[in-house]
Amino acid sequence: MTFKEKLLHQEWIQPFLPNYMKPLHEPRIEEDATSLMVHETEEFLSDLASLSELPRLNKTFKRKIKGFLLKVKIKPKKLHLEMHDTKRSQALIKKRIYITIYRKSVKAEKGLGKCIDATIYFHTDGRNIVRNVKHHPLFRPVFTHLHMLDSSLSGQNLLPQNESEETVELQRAHHNEPDEKSTLNAELKQLERRYANLNNSITSVFSNVSASLKRCLEEFNLLDVEERHQLKRMLIKEIPDLLDTYQSLTPSQKKEMEEDVIHALEKMNRFVGKIASSLDHNRMERLNHLLRVNKMRYDENK
């Protein structure tokens, strides 16, 4: 994002911008139908980029899928993409999206074809709305594939360095995920061994905490960043600090503080239990999302 674009995304300046420059901030657009449209657009652009005999100039390609129409215009100086909801679309808010970029051999910005239009048109609450989707995270893959099509038309296969580095970072984060999960599982097993000889009351409560943590770690990929941070902090710092300090007490001090330690562990267990319960909800939400996408894609009655 250029300095000018960062400035345009400041809250205080947006009331002064024309509608086509105002960033999209409409949560209702981020629905399953829009996600499916973006996914199908990615596939369409990828298919075009892989064609060995792709015309270089003045050609229009269309793909009509249940619920929306996609159109790509290839011109000597520009690439133009249109994404439309049709009457069959199951989207709550019908929309039309227009994206136009210069061919990077004509006018480039940070190694990519300069974007000159990225507008979305939709009707909601009795008003016609125009907004900009250039930096909206939901539509970012569309821009990436459009630039890849441009590279393919130019006989190139690589995105610019900054785009490649970002892709590498995403892949690295994805590959590090199993390592982090394994590390935390190993830490939990170590804690179970370390505190196996506590008195029965504390051991029983700690076993409950351990079981809840295991439930969360089984589906570590479904946790958000904050939940992962909280579990790591609990495993690596809070539980060891609490129980190591308790073990260092004299017998009389342990007896005096036993109820407080049990109470602290019970609070931890309730906290982790809430995260585990949210995972159950997340699984249901993901399955429902997949079923809705499946219905939109394959429903023969549409």
In tens, the pLDDT along 234-245 reads 998 899 999 999
Average pLDDT over residues 71-85: 94
Residue with tokens 């589906």: 219
Indicate whether 259 pLDDT > 50.
Answer: yes
CA-to-CA distance for 114 and 100, rounded, in angstroms? 9
Three-state DSSP class for 52?
A: coil
Three-state DSSP class for 26?
A: coil
111 CB contacts (<8 Å, ≥6 apart)?
104, 159, 160, 161, 162, 163
CA-to-CA distance for 226 and 153, rounded, in angstroms? 42
Indicate whether 167 pLDDT > 50.
Answer: no
CA-to-CA distance for 68 and 96, rounded, in angstroms? 10
Q: Give CA 12 to chain center in angstroms.
A: 27
Cβ count near 146 (within 10 Å): 24
Find, among 29, 7, 6, 222, the residue nearest to 138 by Cα: 29
CA-to-CA distance for 58 and 150, rounded, in angstroms? 14
Higher pLDDT among residues 183 and 166, named by residue = 183
Indicate whether 24 pLDDT > 50.
Answer: yes
Indicate whether 156 pLDDT > 70.
Answer: no
CA separation (Å) from 99 to 45, 104, 139, 174?
A: 13, 15, 10, 29
Average pLDDT over residues 35-42: 90
Confidence of residue 18 (pLDDT cuts 50, 70, 90): confident
> Taking the model in full, what pTM does it have?
0.54
Indicate whether 102 pLDDT > 80.
Answer: yes
Half-sphere exposure of residue 233: CA atoms within 13 angstroms, side-chain side: 9
User: What pLDDT does 171 receive?
Assistant: 46
Q: Is 219 exposed, middle or buried (0-12, 13-18, 19+ CB in 10 A)?
A: middle
Residues of the chain with pLDDT > 70, as a percent, come to: 83
Confidence of residue 82 (pLDDT cuts 50, 70, 90): very high
User: What pLDDT does 244 receive?
Assistant: 93
User: What pLDDT does 88 receive?
Assistant: 86
Indicate whether 208 pLDDT > 60.
Answer: yes
CB 150 within 8 A of CB 103: yes
Residues of the chain with pLDDT > 90, as a percent, come to: 39
Find, among 71, 76, 77, 78, the residue nearest to 48 by Cα: 71
